[in-house]
């Protein structure tokens, strides 16, 4: 017995009576609720209309509609179409079966990071990630211990594709790349979270209809130009006014090729063409077609090789022409944002693994 108990002990009899009364109330109440046909339903509010409608309300209560995207304003019609069974909790990201992910701490180099992190095929993934971020990330200077890379990829070998990648750099902040095909584009490209294209393009490019720049001058010591992956037959134009100085020389290596001298004396070479459309000595205007891209000479896949030389020195087309980059049209930001939300979920799932 403790000091709060009344004199004479606890009133067990009273407790039992109260308990039994409550139990009876619960039993009766439950029975009335469960069989609305035989009892007057006690839960009906007085202002409710005909009993038939009320019975229906009890048997089949409306499920509240869950707005799925509270950040984006949703129009009324769109709201009406939302199915009531949308789960309140965000579902686990649906990563397709053929997509693999990795979340890795940088070890010494990208190649070593991926070889150690994912084993077979790691060097391939590393090469594509390096290609993706080459415009912002200098692999020789910018990688630091403590950096982190998260990647989703699919396929292998030449077909290896990266839907999304994120590089957290101590030096540069977080770099993001999401694969997305912009309105009017033939091929997907990679865009950052602000809808700005990750890869750059040459101002006054010799080729417009290319899939990707696959090699820069700085990538390989003995490679003298920029490579543009493009289907055979893509028009190649002269980025400057000029004079055609040579056509089809050293065909074994160059394939069909054209050389144009620009007014400042710079020599421009267009290699591996499927067809040349100009003759030696011809004047060409800026933007006029000199040939069509191909896969001729020492070339393993259809592409344009574009190189510049002045005073017998190789010139980087990036320095000569300058770079430009595109930004997505605001009209397609909603579609793009939905895509990157899905891809971010894949990367976050990879980070949690």
The site for Zn ion (CB under 5 A) is made up of 225, 227, 305
Bridge partners, 166 (sequence order)? 150, 176
**Residue 336 burial (CB count, 10 A):** 19
Considering the complex, what minimum distance in angstroms separates the CB of residue 141 from Zn ion?
24
Q: Which is nearer to Zn ion, 166 or 305 (CB)?
A: 305
Longest dimension (CA), the chain: 123
Taking the C-alpha atoms of residue 21 and residue 15, their distance in angstroms, rounded to an integer, is 10
Q: Which is nearer to Zn ion, 225 or 291 (CB)?
A: 225
Considering the complex, what minimum distance in angstroms separates the CB of residue 302 from Zn ion?
12
Considering the complex, what minimum distance in angstroms separates the CB of residue 224 from Zn ion?
7
Q: Which is nearer to Zn ion, 180 or 270 (CB)?
A: 270
Beta strands in 239-282 (DSSP E): 242-247, 256-261, 267-276
Q: What angle do CA 117, 121, 122 make, to 5 degrees?
A: 30
Considering the complex, what minimum distance in angstroms separates the CB of residue 202 from Zn ion?
14
Q: Which is nearer to Zn ion, 189 or 254 (CB)?
A: 254
Helix or strand or coil: residue 184?
coil
Considering the complex, what minimum distance in angstroms separates the CB of residue 212 from Zn ion?
13
Q: Which is nearer to Zn ion, 66 or 212 (CB)?
A: 212
Q: Nearest Cα to 305, choosing from 320, 319, 289, 294? A: 294
Considering the complex, what minimum distance in angstroms separates the CB of residue 318 from Zn ion?
14
Helix or strand or coil: residue 105?
strand
Helix or strand or coil: residue 243?
strand
Q: Which position's Cβ is nearest Zn ion?
A: 305
Q: Which is nearer to Zn ion, 175 or 292 (CB)?
A: 292
The DSSP string of 115-142 is: HHHH-TTHHHHHHHHHHHHTTT--TTTT
């Amino acid at each position: 017995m403790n000091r709060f108990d009344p004199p004479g002990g606890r009133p067990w009899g009273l407790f039992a009576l109260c308990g039994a009364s409550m139990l009876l109330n619960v039993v009766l109440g439950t029975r009335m609720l469960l069989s609305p046909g035989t009892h007057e339903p006690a839960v009906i509010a007085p202002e409710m209309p005909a009993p038939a409608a009320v019975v229906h309300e009890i048997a089949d209560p409306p499920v509240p509609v869950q707005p799925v995207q509270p950040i984006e304003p949703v129009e009324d019609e769109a709201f009406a179409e939302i199915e009531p069974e949308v789960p309140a909790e965000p579902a686990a990201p649906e990563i397709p079966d053929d997509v693999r992910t990795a979340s890795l701490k940088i070890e010494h180099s990208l190649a070593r990071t991926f070889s150690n992190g994912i084993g077979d095929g790691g060097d391939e993934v590393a090469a594509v990630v390096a290609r993706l971020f080459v415009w912002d990330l200098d692999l020789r200077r910018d990688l630091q211990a403590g950096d982190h890379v998260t990647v989703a990829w699919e396929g292998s070998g030449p077909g290896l594709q990266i839907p999304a990648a994120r590089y957290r750099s101590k030096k540069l902040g977080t770099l993001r790349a999401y694969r997305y095909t912009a309105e009017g584009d033939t091929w997907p490209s990679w865009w950052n979270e602000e809808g700005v294209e990750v890869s750059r393009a040459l101002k006054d490019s010799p080729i417009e209809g290319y899939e990707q720049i696959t090699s820069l001058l700085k990538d390989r010591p003995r490679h003298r130009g920029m490579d543009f992956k493009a289907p055979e037959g893509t028009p190649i134009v002269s980025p400057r006014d000029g004079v055609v100085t040579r056509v089809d020389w050293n065909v074994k290596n160059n394939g069909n090729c054209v050389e144009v001298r620009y007014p400042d004396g710079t020599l421009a070479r267009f290699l591996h063409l499927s067809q040349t459309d100009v003759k030696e000595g011809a004047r060409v205007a800026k933007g006029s077609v000199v040939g069509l891209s191909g896969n001729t000479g020492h070339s393993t896949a259809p592409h344009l090789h574009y190189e510049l030389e002045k005073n017998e020195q190789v010139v980087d087309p990036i320095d000569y022409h300058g770079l430009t980059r595109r930004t997505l049209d605001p009209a397609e930001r909603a579609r793009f944002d939905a895509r990157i939300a899905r891809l971010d979920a894949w990367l976050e799932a990879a980070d949690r693994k």
